[in-house]
Structure 1
């Protein structure tokens, strides 16, 4: 029997693996990642509410780790960039994050300081586990370019698992207490760590396609120099700002949609299906629109999806009936999936290849970090005051992102990249 070596060092040897394609391995790993996010993203607010926290407190807990990504994102990105193998930092990040999630079980011991205990533990755990996503995105994007498979295939598999998790956990919540949410999130973090060690191939960053001598020397640059190289590109910076506005427009949706829907009388099962509709549309977009996306290009897609994002949140601000909600949820294919893929492609295109992983980490730090954090922080107080009317603010954020996207499309500098 061959021995499988778990890559816990920066000089991790390449261990033998069963014969499985790179595309299949990446897809399988995405399933573990989205088993976790399929629980934490829509349902952790419910668990915090079951622990006696108010809407404002929940909003703050959800927002702090996102706001801190302005600092933690670059730090973790530079740290991860120092490892030769893609998978090594993912193992450690997911495992450490699961440990901090598990420590939230000690909440009865927090006493009057329960809120602060949750704040610290969730901030650290969420920061660590969500740092895996930009790293696996960068790895898959690079390997897809090298080995000739579509990046959207493994990513769409992950989204499909997100749907299944939404439905299953929504059903379980009709039978069990909200504590099942916390148990699920802890186990998912451990699963991500194990999957990174046992499923992902020991691919080195030196395996990038068409790497020249200068690119190979890139990792020896200091972290500050690498950051300066990326920030010196104004088009890249503005793309990330636009992406931040679009992603932040989902903050109220992620934080309070389940609570709002249950308050309107919908069961946990219906809530799970509503979440699922959005992600089914996302999967369909990723899996069925490749040729269309190529014809339109990322710049035009960013503008088109931005328009539909404004439409989506504007309708949801009106508290539409369930029959309309199904349609509005399907617009998630554009408000999230289309914008996400266009942004991923633009960030990768506008960045030096050797800095692709760091560029994606910085983009995630700002878009799903700082901007999402500000939106989430505001969402808690807004929900306490105007309930579902908070979607109107999200429409405004999307409108700001759309304005930047239109400007970038029209100015001369990025036109050659369309």
Structure 2
């Protein structure tokens, strides 16, 4: 478990070298806001497509680590191209290739980590908190580093350097055997499609993640519209990130006591309270304090949802389920959220957006309550696994 925690620490530390600065990287290269938006939209679209494909490919192999190792080598090597090339066409190609491999590593890592954690009787949140810690440290420190350097062109070189220990930590794991029966691509797609409880879970999660995506994108616009000091946008982000670390730890403690779906409901309610506070109070101190709820909610949801997805999946489709879930809730949610949020802000303003976000997160809480009650009544196995969902601890 210590090696796994170290892997997550370095993986998210490496990601923090470029993640918060993508838009700044492209503008530093001299691209317009519209061109930068195209790069980022393409980045998200490729992630939505690539993750399920890489997940199905992973499930086809007897060694589940193989595809993850390929991704952890390919992404940083391709990423060096961001440093050496500055042309529009060249960067479009690099964005497609880099996003294809890098976007898949998170869900594939979670697939393996949850399996190891379950075998050792440990909650996944206890591992994931190390990623939250390193990302907040890396994002904070790299900001000063790039400001001193006078630009963001070197961000992918730092990502490459920090990806070396990520790969080395993976090579330390013994080759693991997959399921005896290797499902075909058609079988994998069919199993996901027929698993209606899983699709419902993904749909409810999409509702919540779309709301959180809109919040992340349009909170600066809310600050500007309300007349708050724009320097405090960074403070809000820092509060959000820093509180995630102890909340991941708390999540690991609470889930064994109250169960996974009650934790997901609690996360929805924390998000809802955060959004209604931002909508109701025209006070920067209240808004900053509300970010404690946002960070808490994300920590509760991010760790527990991965474990919940694991229980919907069969032995031959674990990576497929995780990557489908990640593509929808961390890819498609961003695309929908950015497009819909922009329309709402243009039409009614950023404050009304937060009232809508309150409604979305509250509806997600109600739907998760409905799912929980339904699961308590139905003790039948899921369509493709034959595993009784109610038989898993914490579900």
TM-score (norm 1): 0.78
Structure 1 contact 231–237 (Cα < 8 Å) conserved: yes
Q: Distance in 1 between matches of 2:99 and 2:2?
A: 27
Q: Deviations over 1:35-80 (max 9, x none)?
A: 1333444332333344455555544433333334443222111222
SS of residue in 1 equivalent to 2:98: helix
Structure 1 contact 40–185 (Cα < 8 Å) conserved: yes
**In the alignment, structure 1 residue 366 sits paired with structure 2 residue 328:** yes
Q: Distance in 2 between matches of 1:275 and 1:333?
A: 9
The correspondence of residues 305-324 of structure 1 with structure 2, limited to 5 A, is 305-316=267-278, 321-324=283-286
**In the alignment, structure 1 residue 204 sits paired with structure 2 residue 189:** no
In the alignment, which of 77, 80, 96 is matched to residue 55 of structure 2? Answer: 77
**In the alignment, structure 1 residue 279 sits paired with structure 2 residue 241:** yes
**In the alignment, structure 1 residue 48 sits paired with structure 2 residue 26:** yes
**In the alignment, structure 1 residue 299 sits paired with structure 2 residue 261:** yes
Equivalence for 1:191: 162
Q: How many Å apart are 1:249 and its aligned residue?
A: 2.0
Q: Distance in 1 between matches of 2:171 and 2:344?
A: 42
Structure 1 contact 29–200 (Cα < 8 Å) conserved: no
Q: How many Å apart are 1:132 and its aligned residue?
A: 0.6
Aligned CA distance change for structure 1 residues 414 and 283 (closer, same or farther; 3 Å): farther
Q: How many Å apart are 1:143 and its aligned residue?
A: 0.9
Equivalence for 2:44: 66
In the alignment, which of 403, 408, 416 is matched to residue 371 of structure 2? Answer: 408
Q: How many Å apart are 1:379 and its aligned residue?
A: 4.7
Unaligned runs of 5+ in 1: 1-22, 207-214
Aligned CA distance change for structure 1 residues 282 and 195 (closer, same or farther; 3 Å): same
Aligned CA distance change for structure 1 residues 33 and 342 (closer, same or farther; 3 Å): same
Q: Deviations over 1:175-228 (max 9, x none)?
A: 34341xx4224432453355223455333342xxxxxxxx8323x221221231
The CA RMSD over aligned residues, in Å, is 3.3
Q: How many Å apart are 1:257 and its aligned residue?
A: 4.8
Q: Distance in 1 between matches of 2:76 and 2:22?
A: 14
SS of residue in 1 equivalent to 2:174: coil
The correspondence of residues 255-266 of structure 1 with structure 2, limited to 5 A, is 255=217, 257=219, 265-266=229-230
Q: How many Å apart are 1:265 and its aligned residue?
A: 4.0
Q: Distance in 2 between matches of 1:266 and 1:161?
A: 26
Q: How many Å apart are 1:152 and its aligned residue?
A: 2.1
Equivalence for 1:343: 305
SS of residue in 2 equivalent to 1:370: helix
Aligned CA distance change for structure 1 residues 373 and 198 (closer, same or farther; 3 Å): same
Equivalenced residue count is 378
Aligned CA distance change for structure 1 residues 36 and 266 (closer, same or farther; 3 Å): farther
Q: How many Å apart are 1:95 and its aligned residue?
A: 3.0
SS of residue in 2 equivalent to 1:250: helix
Equivalence for 2:6: 28
Q: Distance in 2 between matches of 1:119 and 1:51?
A: 13
Q: Distance in 2 between matches of 1:87 and 1:288?
A: 29
Structure 1 contact 100–122 (Cα < 8 Å) conserved: no
Q: How many Å apart are 1:239 and its aligned residue?
A: 0.6
Q: Deviations over 1:310-364 (max 9, x none)?
A: 2323444568544223322211344312122232122111221342222111111
Aligned CA distance change for structure 1 residues 167 and 387 (closer, same or farther; 3 Å): farther
**In the alignment, structure 1 residue 88 sits paired with structure 2 residue 66:** yes
Q: Distance in 1 between matches of 2:32 and 2:378?
A: 48
**In the alignment, structure 1 residue 127 sits paired with structure 2 residue 121:** no
Aligned CA distance change for structure 1 residues 256 and 187 (closer, same or farther; 3 Å): farther
Unaligned runs of 5+ in 2: 380-389
Q: How many Å apart are 1:234 and its aligned residue?
A: 0.7
TM-score (norm 2): 0.82
